[in-house]
Amino acid sequence: MIDLVDVSKTFRTPGGEVHALDHVSLRVEPGEIFGIVGQSGAGKSTLIRTVNALEKPDSGTVTVDGAVISELKGKELREARRRAGMIFQHFNLLSSRTAQANVELALEIAGTSRADRRHRATEILELVGLSDRAGAYPAQLSGGQKQRVGIARALADNPSVLLSDEATSALDPETTRSVLDLIRRLSRELGLTVLLITHEMDVIKRICDSAALMEHGRILEHGPMDQLLTTPGSRLAAELFQLGELPPERGTTIIDVTFTKQTSSEPVIARLARDQGLDVAILGAAMETIHDGTQTGRTRLEIPAATGDQVEAALSYLRSQGLFVEVVR
């Protein structure tokens, strides 16, 4: 579990003060995959750096797995730091060491015996699917393989938290998907809590249970994915499932219908047209089929010029199907 309460951090630069974190409160539940998105300079890296104590907040507290990491020092701090492993955009592997030796290094620093290091590194490399490349140097590995070594190194010392700062940004889309799926699998198998930052909405859609949007050092929105998607006016929801521009005003009613955990959006729309006798037009749709085969996303529908009663009937019908409906115009 990760808990930030009222955390602030200001950097003093020649250009003036930068409020990198401005009263940030955030809670990541045990075993959850939590994604943070936001533009460059929003404070995402600073936030994650307070969680592994690379950055000390000016005020507020950061608790990781019961330890108030923002207030610890010396040996206690070093111990607490071991609760969180971190992966990076550019992998940060030592080029002079093999995959196996890179993973062992993390344990060397932790003071693990040579035999235990070897055993644990072999075990964790197998878990990330890299047993056959254990003797390879970073230069001999693909980007995806390098990140798997990065993940193995981060998890070698059995942390309860995995932190990821843009870990898939340097990878192509297919490799990104496989690394994300690996993170999800490990999170489920090992009960890992994952806090990741990304600028890619696809990353959030693919693996996150919850997400937050950051801007100018503040958290603007946060919550479980299905809750965010059904929050009227949510910016994260709009960015996750983009529906494009509205058509010119033509006397019609435009609604956004949010599907969460549906097997398909089509029958509902077809039935709306048939049962209500409305020629509904689909203006846009952004759907994602998630790992369990269900669909999540939004569809923008245009209901032709109709009486208020007909529109109301259509809205009630959709809501009776368990869908979240927002009248856009």
Ligand X SMILES: Nc1ncnc2c1ncn2[C@@H]1O[C@H](COP(=O)(O)OP(=O)(O)OP(=O)(O)O)[C@@H](O)[C@H]1O
Segment 183-212, which members bind ligand X (CB under 6 A)?
199
Give the whole-angstrom CA distance, residue 4 versus residue 62.
5
The residue count for binding Mg ion (CB under 5 A) is 1
**62 or 130: whose CB is closer to ligand X?**
62
CA–CA distance from 234 to each of 96, 200, 238, 301 (Å)? 47, 17, 6, 18
Q: Out of ligand X, Mg ion, none, which partner does residue 58 contact, by CB within 5 to 8 A per kind? A: none
Give the whole-angstrom CA distance, residue 54 versus residue 98.
26
**40 or 307: whose CB is closer to ligand X?**
40
Give the whole-angstrom CA distance, residue 92 versus residue 107.
16
Q: In the bound complex, what is the minimum distance in angstroms from residue 306's beta carbon to Mg ion? A: 49
Q: In the bound complex, what is the minimum distance in angstroms from residue 13's beta carbon to ligand X? A: 5
13 touching ligand X, by CB under 6 A: yes
Among 7, 44, 93, 255, binds ligand X (CB under 6 A): 44
Q: Running DSSP on this structure, what letter comes out for residue 33?
A: E
**160 or 164: whose CB is closer to Mg ion?**
164
38 touching ligand X, by CB under 6 A: yes
Name the nearest CA neighbour of 97 among 61, 141, 129.
141
Q: Out of Mg ion, ligand X, none, which partner does residue 41 contact, by CB within 5 to 8 A per kind? A: ligand X
Q: Are the C-beta atoms of residues 264 and 298 closer than 8 Å to each other?
A: no
Kindly write out the interface string for residues 45-84 of this chain, putting x where it contacts Mg ion by CB under 5 A and - elsewhere. x---------------------------------------
Cβ neighbors of 6 (< 8 A, separation 6 or more) are 23, 24, 25, 59, 60, 61
Among 1, 5, 8, 18, binds ligand X (CB under 6 A): 18
